Structure 1
Amino acid sequence: MTNLLLALVLLASLIAVAWPFLFYPLILRLLPTRAETPVVGPVPSASLLFCAYNEAAAMPEKLANLAMLKARHPTLEILAFDDGSSDDTAALIAAQGDLVTLLRGPGRSGKAHGMKLLAARARGDILIFTDANVLLDPDAIDNLLARYADPAVGGVLGSLHYLGEGDSATAAVGSLYWRIEERLKDEESRTGNVLGADGSIFSIRRSLYPEFPDSVLDDLTVSMAVVFAGKRLVKAKDVIARERLVTGRKDEYRRKVRIAARAWHTHRHLRPQLRRMAAIDRFKYASRKIVRWFGGLFILTGAIAAGVLALRLSPMLYMTGAIGIALLAWIGLRSRGGPLAALVDILIAYAATLQGVLKAMSGRTVTTWNPAKSR
């Protein structure tokens, strides 16, 4: 392999890693704005749904938040699914029977299964999905339902604001990543459709709720059904949800492996419909999903190309670089903050995502979840 070819492989790897965070946002900014066209009509009814497993610590604050939302919206239906919790989660929810209707699972069956049961039970025109540890701002429901005044809008995402950014390097990296993610969704929404939601806060018209297996990510599957139906999936900056960041590396690693594995299964399940999307939506999906899922592979390929190139140019340069990188990685792993710790956490996140994708490609999946202990 010639030095030129090695340099080209290194350059291509760097571009691929930077694509979702640098080149893709720049391209989005060049696209025209697609305006919404609201019409005068009644405010639709809504059902708020969430699943919980061993969230007893978060339940008092969650239930107080729901009571506040219910006071502002007396007709809001609130449904919860307990996935066989071994703590007091179900008891705490059941004690608020006038506020929340509780469905109990037979054991560990997973969030996707629970959400399907809740959606089948819900009566609201709009289904609002959130997580057990997420709190909504007082105006969130008002602002969310207002976007459905446009009949072309089939789904609305909210904005997630993380708490605890300074608690650890892992939390700081997670917060930075999510701020970038939020800006990308803002630009995608401005130019047409957001390509997928996360489970913290999003909504769809009940008539668009799809059928799907328990092995997929329900939030991605359900939100993409809006795009497949020819409706708009948009993001509302003023629909604000708040969640505490994961601060432990092990917790975050396991979380990313689980999400990536289920995301790949979701991709395979949705592939026939993805191929029928408009060209601009296929471009968005590939840029924000597929390229990012394989970011760890691009980093590994680039590192190998850089190492071989350095070795061909000068063995001393190769040895010096290898020792320097190993030393910086050691310092970063032992640090709780600072740029080196942040860099290590970024690399760990890429490794976890790649492991999850490879796990799913081998046929394995994850249907259940556990709350992070370091939240």
Structure 2
Amino acid sequence: MTDLWLGALLLVSLVATLWPFIFYPLILRTLPTRPEQPVVGPVPTASLLFCAYNEADAMPEKLANLAMLKGVHPTLEILAFDDGSSDGTGDLIAAQGDLVMLIRGPGRSGKAHGMKQLAARARGDILIFTDANVLLDGQAIDNLLARYADPDVGGVLGSLQYIGQDESATASVGSLYWRIEERLKDEESRTGNVLGADGSIFSIRRSLYPDFPDSVLDDLTVSMVVVFAGKRLVKAKDVIARERLVTARKDEYRRKVRIAARAWHTHSHLRPQLRRMAAIDRFKYASRKIVRWFGGLFILTGAVAAGALAMRVSPMLYMVGALAVALVIWAGVRTKRGPFAALVDVLIAYAATLQGVAKAMTGRTVTIWNPAKSR
């Protein structure tokens, strides 16, 4: 009976770990397509918003990209919030004159606070949110606004393409993870709603913009309000954004802990509204977010179950298996490329996410951020 329970625990752990990446996508593919219903009408106006902190290195390329977007779409309003930068980021933005409306924060107050300040001043019908280190393709704005021809569409996500995936195993794993994430969003969009956006590129109708505390993850909170309002949150494949990957494990670990902590805090804040969503949207949310947040715990319980089973079969088998795992991890830690390094980076990502969730469960969260030095 003990062997049966250990085997069941190992199987459940394995299925739960793989669920967001294998089983959930397969289920999505069986769901019917929900087409959009565009109508003829005026093209809405738009405001593009971003927050920055100590992004002086990225700002020249960002500002050139914004000038290009303004040339393609002259009516685009651009607003930026400088979160108390100490490297001259705000001065670089201010030097662009009328290209960007700059709001300087009094000190470190966080992205959520900054975005609320920008949204309160924006005049466009559509609010477009992006990051200070993200570059948009020339037709991104027009392609994004075209999706709002369907009155049922309340929010539109873009497609993120990462740069620098070959620079380290950390970057390679991050790139693979994001390609899977993009495909999941495509399938979710095809079948109804995408369940949440990230901050690289997404938009909503300004009339839907919610009020929320500074401690939550603003991109998840703001995008989910579209679903709560009974509108569609969809993804546009032809709205392309580009961002450079983080290449150092230390930077990526801190980033994932911060994001996971704020995501769980946001989940707690949104829980009453999440419970009122349609059944299909609750299923999507649980599959792509909740199950993934606890992936590290599933890996840990699966490893314990596998070790206990091996010990019951043969102590020698347990010792050989444990030594093999230790050697693989040791090799992965000491290298920056190759399959062993990639495996270690996957485990690090799961550990960081679990640590962030555990941190949020104790009531702690993170309201400010520091840009990764290894981008």
TM-score > 0.5, shorter chain as reference: yes
Query: Could you say which residue in structure 2 is the equivalent of 1:167?
Result: 167
Q: CA RMSD in A?
A: 0.5
CA distance in 2, matches of 1:216, 1:292: 19
Which consecutive residues of structure 1, in runs of 5 or more, have no partner in the other structure? Answer: none
The within-5 A match list for 1:127-276 is 127-276=127-276
User: Aligned letter for 2:298?
Assistant: F
The within-5 A match list for 1:99-110 is 99-110=99-110
Query: Could you say which residue in structure 2 is the equivalent of 1:89?
Result: 89
CA distance in 2, matches of 1:370, 1:14: 35
Query: Could you say which residue in structure 1 is the equivalent of 2:324?
Result: 324
CA distance in 2, matches of 1:46, 1:2: 61
Query: Could you say which residue in structure 2 is the equivalent of 1:295?
Result: 295
Q: Percent identity?
A: 85
Q: Secondary structure at the match of 2:356?
A: helix
CA distance in 1, matches of 2:70, 2:166: 32
Give the deviation of 1:97 after TM superposition.
2.2
The within-5 A match list for 1:46-65 is 46-65=46-65
CA distance in 1, matches of 2:103, 2:333: 43
Give the deviation of 1:98 after TM superposition.
1.1
Query: Could you say which residue in structure 2 is the equivalent of 1:18?
Result: 18
CA distance in 2, matches of 1:151, 1:46: 16
TM-score (norm 2): 1.00
Deviations 1:85-128 (A, max 9, x none): 01010000000121000001010000000000000000000000
Give the deviation of 1:74 after TM superposition.
1.1
Q: Secondary structure at the match of 2:98?
A: coil
User: Aligned letter for 2:233?
Assistant: L
CA distance in 2, matches of 1:163, 1:109: 29
CA distance in 2, matches of 1:198, 1:232: 16
Q: Secondary structure at the match of 1:80?
A: strand
Structure 1 segments, 4+ long, off by >6 Å, are: none
Indicate whether 1:45 and 2:45 are aligned.
Answer: yes
User: Aligned letter for 1:237?
Assistant: K
TM-score (norm 1): 1.00
User: Aligned letter for 2:197?
Assistant: A
User: Aligned letter for 1:340?
Assistant: F
CA distance in 2, matches of 1:256, 1:33: 33
CA distance in 2, matches of 1:304, 1:338: 26
Query: Could you say which residue in structure 2 is the equivalent of 1:32?
Result: 32
Give the deviation of 1:323 after TM superposition.
0.7
Q: Secondary structure at the match of 2:161?
A: strand
User: Aligned letter for 2:362?
Assistant: S
CA distance in 2, matches of 1:217, 1:363: 15
